Amino acid sequence: MRVLGVDPGLTRCGVGVVDSLPGRRARMAGVGVIRSDAGLTVDLRLLRIADGLEEWLDAHLPDVVAVERVFAQHNVASVTGTAQAAGLAMVAAARRGIPVALHTPSEVKAAVTGSGRADKAQVTKMVTRILRLDDPPKPADAADALALAVCHLWRPAGALHGGERHELTSAQRAWAAAEAAARRKG
Amino acid sequence: MRVLGVDPGLTRCGVGVVDSLPGRRARMAGVGVIRSDAGLTVDLRLLRIADGLEEWLDAHLPDVVAVERVFAQHNVASVTGTAQAAGLAMVAAARRGIPVALHTPSEVKAAVTGSGRADKAQVTKMVTRILRLDDPPKPADAADALALAVCHLWRPAGALHGGERHELTSAQRAWAAAEAAARRKG
C-alpha cells in the first residue's frame, strides 16, 4: 500500500509518499514541499497548492491520501489557509476516487514516537529512523507529511475514516467519483 | 459586468449571479444553493461543492467571482468547512483566469442596507428590492450570495482586491492560469 501524507499549509504544504513493506516496515518513495508565493493573491496561492498536489498524485499514484485534521482552535491566525489547503488535498483525492483519511497531530506523534505530545524534533528523528533515511527530511512540514503517511500505515485496523460517518468502500468511492465526473461533463 | 457571488458553506453554499445595468441598477441572472449530504465523508462533501461551483461557472460565465471573506474568529465550530468551501470557489475561479474578490460580511451588509450591522432579514429585504425580485430569495445563503455580488458591483473604485498585495490585471491572471494549466499537462 502506498500512502501520500499531506501536512496542509498555504505557504508550505508538506507532501510525503510512503510504501508499506512486509513486517511493519516502510519505505519512503518521495518527499517535498509545495510552496506558494506570499506576494500573490490568495486565489492564485491556492491554485499553486492545488496544482502541486495534482502533480504529486500524478507522479506517485497513492492508494490513500492521509491529511492532517485541521482544528479551528489551533493557530487561529493561519487556520483559514491551512483548512483550505487540506480541503484541496481532499477534493483532489476524492475526484480520483482515492480514499482520504484524516489524522490528528497527536495521533501522528503517538504513532511515530509513542507520545502524542512529542515535539517536532522528536517526530523528525523517528521518521528518519523508521524510514532509514540518510538525512532528516527538511523542512519540518516535509517530515510531518512522512509521519502522517507512516501513522496511516500503522493505524489500528478499521480506523481509515475514524470519526467519519458512512464509511465507503473503495468501489463505492470510485463510483461516486465517476458519477461526479459524469455530472461535470453532462 | 457579471458577478458570481458565493456565500461559502459545506452544508449549504449559496450562489447568486448578478449583472450590472446602466445607472447603478442590477439584474439577477440566477440564484441557488449547492448542498452536500452531511452523511458523506468530508472529502466527498467537498467534491460535491466543488462540482456544483464548476457547474455554476460553466452555466453563467461570470467576469468576477466574489467570495465572502472567512474569519477564523467567527463560528469556530463550522469555520473549517466554510473556509474550505471558500477555497474551492477561489481555486475554481483562478483556474479559469477569473478574478476573485473577497468581501467581509460587514462590507456586504453596508453595501446593500447602508449598515454594516444589518440582520439577515434586512439583507434579504434589500436584495429583493434592489434586484426587483417578485419573492425574497431563500434560504438566507442564497440571498447572501446575491448581496455579495451586488456589494461587488457597487464597491468603491479600485477595491477589487482590497487588502491583497500584488494586484494582477485580468491579462496577468489569464496568463498565470494558462501557465498553471501548462504545468499540469507537462
Question: What is the model's pLDDT at position A155?
Answer: 81
Q: What average pLDDT does range A46-66 have in this prediction?
A: 98
The secondary structure of chain B, three-state, reads CEEEEEECCCCEEEEEEEEEECCCEEEEEEEEEEECCCCCCHHHHHHHHHHHHHHHHHHHCCCEEEEECCCCCCCCCCHHHHHHHHHHHHHHHHHCCCCEEEECHHHHHHHHHCCCCCCHHHHHHHHHHHCCCCCCCCCHHHHHHHHHHHHHHCCCCCCCCCCCCCCCCHHHHHHHHHHHHHHHHC
The mean of the pLDDT values for chain A is 88
Q: For residue B90, which residues of chain A lie inside 8 Å, CB to CB? A: 42-43, 46-47, 84
Nearest Cα to A2, choosing from A31, A28, A22, A23?
A: A28
Yes or no, beta carbons of A165 and B41 under 8 Å apart: yes
User: CB under 8 Å to B49, separation ≥6 — which residues?
Assistant: B10, B13, B34, B36, B85, B88
Residue A141 annotated as binding? yes
User: CB under 8 Å to B176, separation ≥6 — which residues?
Assistant: A44, A47, B94, B97, B168
Residue A165 has pLDDT above 50, yes or no: no
The mean of the pLDDT values for chain B is 88
Q: What average pLDDT does range B135-140 have in this prediction?
A: 94
Yes or no, beta carbons of A93 and B50 under 8 Å apart: no
Q: What average pLDDT does range B71-79 have in this prediction?
A: 69
Residue A167 has pLDDT above 60, yes or no: no
Q: How far is A158 from chain B (nearest CA, A)?
A: 15
Yes or no, beta carbons of A41 and B164 under 8 Å apart: yes
Question: What is the model's pLDDT at position B73?
Answer: 64
Residue A84 has pLDDT above 70, yes or no: yes
Yes or no, beta carbons of A44 and B77 under 8 Å apart: no
- In this complex, is the C-beta atom of B29 within 8 Å of any C-beta atom belonging to chain A? no
**CA B10 to centroid of chain Cα atoms:** 14
Q: For residue A173, which residues of chain B lie inside 8 Å, CB to CB? A: 44
- In this complex, is the C-beta atom of A184 within 8 Å of any C-beta atom belonging to chain B? yes
Q: What average pLDDT does range B116-142 have in this prediction?
A: 95
C-alpha grid cell, residue B65: 467571482
Residue A77 has pLDDT above 80, yes or no: no
pLDDT tens per residue across span B156-169: 654 454 434 334 55
Note if B7 is an active site residue: yes
Residue A164 has pLDDT above 60, yes or no: no
Map out the domains of chain A with their CATH numbers: 2-185 (3.30.420.10)
> Residue B124's pLDDT band (boundaries 50, 70, 90)?
very high
Nearest-Cα residue of chain B relative to residue A41: B164
Nearest-Cα residue of chain A relative to residue B101: A43
Q: What average pLDDT does range A40-48 have in this prediction?
A: 97
Question: What is the model's pLDDT at position A163?
Answer: 39
Q: What is the ipTM of this complex?
A: 0.83
Residues A134-162, buried b or exposed e (16+ Cβ, 10 A)?
A: eeebeebbbbbbbbbbbbbbebeeeebbe
pLDDT tens per residue across span A91-142: 999 999 999 999 999 999 999 999 999 999 999 999 999 999 999 999 999 9
pLDDT tens per residue across span B1-60: 999 999 999 999 999 999 999 988 999 999 999 999 999 999 999 999 999 999 999 999
Q: What percent of chain B has pLDDT over 70?
A: 80
Residue A160 has pLDDT above 60, yes or no: no
Question: What is the model's pLDDT at position A175?
Answer: 65
Question: What is the model's pLDDT at position A24?
Answer: 84
The better pLDDT of the pair A14, A183 is held by A14
State the best of A91, A102, A103 to mutate against chain B, taking most chain B CBs within 10 Å.
A91
Question: Residue with C-alpha cell 466527498?
Answer: B44
Question: What is the model's pLDDT at position A135?
Answer: 96
Strands A64-68 and A100-103: parallel
Cis peptide preceding B99, ω within 30 of 0: no
Cβ proximity of A152 and A66 under 8 Å: yes
The better pLDDT of the pair B179, B85 is held by B85
Of the candidates B19, B107, B141, B144, the residue annotated as catalytic is B141
d(C-alpha A78, C-alpha B52), whole Å: 27
Question: What is the model's pLDDT at position B166?
Answer: 39
Residue B68 annotated as binding? yes
Yes or no, beta carbons of B87 and A90 under 8 Å apart: no
Question: What is the model's pLDDT at position B24?
Answer: 84
Q: Which of residues 66-125 of B touch A (CB under 8 A)?
A: 70-73, 76-77, 79-80, 83-88, 90-91, 93-95, 100, 102
